[in-house]
Every structure is written in C-alpha cells, then in structure tokens.
Structure 1
C-alpha cells in the first residue's frame, strides 16, 4: 500500500539521504561503536546537506519542510544499525534544537540555533536527574538569580550527547517552592566554569556519548533563559509529544529493518533440504510480527500527520511510544531467534539491534510512566494543554 503521506519529493529526499548515509556514515559506524565517540566532521557534512535543519526556519539555515521529511530522516537513521548514532542525531536536532527554536529569543537563535543547523555546534537536553528519572517535577537542580546572572547547581544523568556536545539545554528550578510550576529552561555553554561531565558505559547505543553532568556554581547570563521564567515544565511537556513520537517512529523503523534482514536470511538459509522460510512455524510467526509492525507504523504516520497540522497530540504520541517500542522489542527478539546461533554473533546485525532496541521502553519516559499518563487522560479525564 502506497502511503498517502509521502510525495515524490519525500521519496527523492529519502534516496539522497540513503546515498549520503551509505557514503559518509556506514563505513565508520563500527569504529564509532567501539570508541563511543562520533567524528565531529560528520556533523558538518550533515549540516551541509541540510539534514540538521529539515524543519527549522530558513532564516537560520533551515529548510522549513514538513514533518514527513523528519519521518524519512528518522527511518533511514534506524536502517544503518546504530541506535547510538541515530540517537546522537535526533537528540541534537529534536531535543536540544527544539527548545532553542521554540523558546529562544533572536540572540539565542543566532548564537546557538544557526550553528546547530550547520553542524558547527552540537547540543544536548538535560532533564533527567540521578534521583528523579521520569519524575520531571521532582528535579533538584536549581538556578538562583543573582543580579543579571543565574547560578546553577545540581546534576543530570543519562544525557545523550552529554560529554561531547558544545552546549546544553538545562532544566532547573528557579522557584523550588512552586514544585513543577517553578522550573525554567536555560542554554549553557560547555566551557562554563564549574560544569563537568562523566561518560557512562551502556548496554547499547554505544556510538553515542551518554553522560552524567555536574553543575557546581555554574554562572550564566540572564539572557540565556529560554522563554519565560517558571514556564519550563509546560515547555517540556509540550515537546514531549514530539520526543515520544520520534521514539515510536524509531521503533517501527528498526523493527522493519530487522524483519527485512531476517526475511532475506531465511530465504537463503537451508535446513532439511529447503530454505527455512518454507517452514510453517517460522512463516506464520514472521507474518504475525509484520502485521504488528504495519499497524504501529501506520498509526505513527497518522499521529505525525496530526502533529504536522499543529494538533496537540500528547495522548496519541504517548500511545505511539508505548506500543511501538514494545512491538520493536518483540520483533527483534524473534528475528534474533530466526537467525539461531548466528543471531547471537556480533558479526551479524541482530545482536546490536537487540541491545539498542531495549532502551526504547526506558528512554523518553518509561513504559510504566506512559501507562500512568494515559490512565490520567483516558480514565481520569485529565486534560493536557499547550504552553502559552
């Protein structure tokens, strides 16, 4: 079935991106997976091609294209089989840069957003804390106003691009007594005195640098405040819809890649005188997994279309992430089984995919938290509204 959401221009963009990734990224993935560090030069190449500014204003070097170009980018990044590299890109483009674009003033956009689009500066988003995982309202990091500056103290953890990025978008409490109504968002330069980062070692996503960040009396100018003071929680919640949809799209894309790889393998692998794709138990399992994938993929496209039209899709995006990441884990688990012993070997792509996919139901809000959010929306009839 031809998707109603992709035009010929989208398809040409996809082909251009595929060619670029094959030439500039794929040959280096294994090295980056081993070193845990992505060569900075590739960011500039991404920037030159316009891939970092797909949906950002032309005034800052972006292309100002619709959301389905972003869908193409996310899907193709999953097919190079490095969840870490893909995460480094989308964490920069759709976590850090989203806040710069939505809440930053003109000076911030000139200083941080424009070079982010070109690949000269890479960013990260710092929300999660060692004591507060998915509990955004429970954060302890503070930003105290002193004259025309803010002084930040606290820590963040599990931050993608947290070690090698050039700037950090940081959530901190400016009025702690107000709880989640006292959170603000700031942009902080990596070179700021008192800021330090420790690299964390992970089960998967090995190409990306994940860090724990410490802020020890980090002084930043008042002008580095993004948006309005004490409105940070609303900003975070509003952008979570995009983040969750991104992780849902990532999930269906990696599941699709895994199924296609397994299908090709099964068409070539023989046992008892025939290829294993002729065995009923395996054939039926394969199509069951494909059906689950197809349902999730088309749901995700529907949500992307609604978000592209400006609709507030916090419920739908939450469902996207919850269901798609579970589906991807199930698909990849079974695809590894289809490969038998070879699925367990590092020379084959399924072992890495198995590790990388497992973060899906954890990052960007655990599945347990998402179920509770949906319970509040569906059962308690709680309404979430856009930030004003």
Structure 2
C-alpha cells in the first residue's frame, strides 16, 4: 500500500483509526452483517477519538484539519472487512453533513452539527427517489411553505442509516417553476410525526441499514433550511464531491485488503501438485490487479492534493469515481475467480466483495453520469 503521511500528526491519527478498526469494527464485521446495521453506540466512541468532524470548525467540536486526514480515515475504514459499515460511517461524516457545515446557520450547526461530531446524533442523506436517481433534478418530494414551517410530502429510497439516523439532510422541491433554483436542503428529524420507513433487503452491504422513507405532511421549521432557500441543488452538487471521494478512497483500500487476502489464499490453496500462486496465470492476474489498484490510489491522492491546495477537484473526482468503481469491480471479479467455489460462500470476503463493489458504479453518481459530466466539461 502507498501511504503518504507527511507529519507525525498524520501518522498518529492513522494509528488511532487503525487501532479503532482493529479493536471495534473488524472483529464484529459479521455481527454487523447479521444485525443489518452498525451499532449506534460506536458513534460516541468515534466522536471521542475525533473521527467524526475532521474538516469541520473547532467551534462545533471539529478538528479543523484538511482532506489528507479524511483520506486516512477512509483508507483505514477499508480494513474493517465490511463495506456496509464503512459506508454507514462515511455517510455521517462526509455525505450528510458537509452542506450543513458550509452553509448552515449558526443555530442549525449548534443544534445538529455539533451533536453529530460528538456522535450523539447520526445523520443520513436523503436525495434519491423511486423515480429520480442520477437525475437529481427529477425529484418530486415537495416542501410547501405554511407560515414559519415547511410541509413536506414525498418519498426517498436507498437511504443509508435509515434505521439509525436521527436526522436527514433532505433535498426537496420548494419552487416547482424555478428549475434548478427551485430546490432546498432541509434538515428533517426522523422522529417528526408523518415520517416512516421500510428497510430494504439487499444483495450486499449487509452491515448498513438501507431503507425507503415516506413523508406525509411532515412539518418542520423553515429555519431548518440549510443555506438559502432555492440553493439546495447547487449545494447538493458540492456535497456530492465529498461523497464521491470518500467512496473511492475507501473502496480502493477495501479492494487492496481483498487483494492481500487473495494472495494468502493462493499461497495456501494447492491443486495439480502445486500452490495456486505458483501458477503464472495466477501471478499475472494478481499483478494486473495490484497495478490497477495502485493507479487508482494515485488518482485518489491527486484529488486529495488538489483539495488540500484549495483547488476545484470536480474533474479529478469525477474521473476517480468512474475509474475506481470499474477497477474495484474488475479486482473483485478476479479475486472471486481465484477463490473458486469458496467465493460463493457468505463467509468468503471475495464473495461479499463481488456484491459490495458493484454498487460503487451506481451510488453517488453512476458511471454514465460521470462520463456525461466529463464529456460536457471537455466539450466533446
């Protein structure tokens, strides 16, 4: 693995996260799968270790650090042997809270962001709908103003942390005739009357709770609007960049761990009088996988470096999201094949990875969405 921890502080933080993953997450990986969600009691522990608000202002309990620390967090979470768990955590740290930190009022930050950083509240991002996935502009959930309140009606689907979240960062239509300027981001507490959810039965990501929310005449204060009314679409596009990068960093780290497990398997597996790893076909497959993983890691590092330097990394992040998803799928497929029949067992990391990595090319912006954006940016 290629690590670039330039300071003693970076190395110390990596060791902190690594120890937490080794002691609290990895040993319970299959337990979380059986639970169908992450143990909520772990969030305060992560808060105490300073893992939940790395880039957020110290005024709200954050660490005031840069993206290099977020990258370390995601890399080490990739060693938890459970992509669902990794996703549940990073949804909270980097998918549902960035807009609140960037654009939220002081009152909202103290009421929702500070407890989230402490791990006392868990958050979720609610954008996708049954008829609006990659086409974010096609969402139908409406928030109609009634005095000082919004009345929200609609449905959101594929929501990570559905059973765990205390509040949603929800994107709704607040002005149907205003196009992209007619959306707003609203914090909706999940215990608000009129909210219900169903959990979804997935083929992977068993360690996270994914569900569909139903909102019927849900009343929340207009003051729960994040940023300006009508700026929600633009704010969510910015928040997607955080989401995509944490996904790609954690994904590649997870696949590097899978590659290592596959090498161990190949050294022990014997057939035709020799070990699997001694066969040239196996060696070539593993070399190709490692080369692609290293290339993907370097692309992710370029994204992080750009953000640390204060640059717009949207183009790089879009390429990373596209490339890393495809690399992960190829690596998972090759590792699955090398494990043979055992890969089809639930206890096999190769089997779990085969399902878990597939969603990386869909969630957070599909491959097609990334290519469409890049083609427009490059004026093709």
**3-state secondary structure, aligned to 1:153:** strand
Partner of residue 202, structure 1: 202
Partner of residue 22, structure 1: 22
Q: 1: distance between equivalents of 2:179 and 2:351?
A: 42
Residue 142 of structure 1: how far off its partner (Å):
1.0
Q: 2: distance between equivalents of 1:4 and 1:37?
A: 32
Would the aligned equivalents of 2:152 and 2:215 in 1 still touch at CA under 8 Å? yes
Q: How does 1:288-327 map to 2 (within 5 A)?
A: 288-327=288-327
Partner of residue 121, structure 1: 121
**Which 5+ residue runs of structure 1 have no aligned equivalent?**
381-388
TM-score, reference length from structure 1 = 0.94
**3-state secondary structure, aligned to 2:155:** strand
2:138 maps to 1:138: yes
Q: 2: distance between equivalents of 1:210 and 1:4?
A: 34
Q: 1: distance between equivalents of 2:357 and 2:3?
A: 25
**3-state secondary structure, aligned to 2:228:** coil
Residue 270 of structure 1: how far off its partner (Å):
2.5
**3-state secondary structure, aligned to 1:203:** coil
**1:45-89 CA-partner distances (Å, limit 9, x unpaired):** 111111112221111111112211111111111111111111100
Q: 1: distance between equivalents of 2:39 and 2:356?
A: 20
Residue 11 of structure 1: how far off its partner (Å):
2.2
Residue 346 of structure 1: how far off its partner (Å):
2.3
TM-score, reference length from structure 2 = 0.96
Partner of residue 99, structure 2: 99
Would the aligned equivalents of 1:142 and 1:154 in 2 still touch at CA under 8 Å? yes
Would the aligned equivalents of 1:138 and 1:179 in 2 still touch at CA under 8 Å? no
Q: 2: distance between equivalents of 1:311 and 1:83?
A: 29
Q: 1: distance between equivalents of 2:251 and 2:27?
A: 23
2:250 maps to 1:250: yes
2:241 maps to 1:241: yes
**1:142-179 CA-partner distances (Å, limit 9, x unpaired):** 11111111111111111111232000111111111112
**1:316-350 CA-partner distances (Å, limit 9, x unpaired):** 11110101010011001101111222222222221
Would the aligned equivalents of 1:5 and 1:301 in 2 still touch at CA under 8 Å? no
Q: 2: distance between equivalents of 1:4 and 1:216?
A: 49
Q: 1:8 to 1:277 in 2, by over 3 A?
A: farther
Partner of residue 178, structure 2: 178
Aligned residues: 380
Partner of residue 222, structure 1: 222
Q: How does 1:278-289 map to 2 (within 5 A)?
A: 278-289=278-289
Would the aligned equivalents of 1:240 and 1:314 in 2 still touch at CA under 8 Å? no
Q: 2: distance between equivalents of 1:63 and 1:37?
A: 27
Would the aligned equivalents of 1:127 and 1:156 in 2 still touch at CA under 8 Å? yes
**3-state secondary structure, aligned to 2:177:** helix
Residue 368 of structure 1: how far off its partner (Å):
1.5
Partner of residue 384, structure 1: none
Q: 2: distance between equivalents of 1:324 and 1:29?
A: 24
**3-state secondary structure, aligned to 1:170:** strand
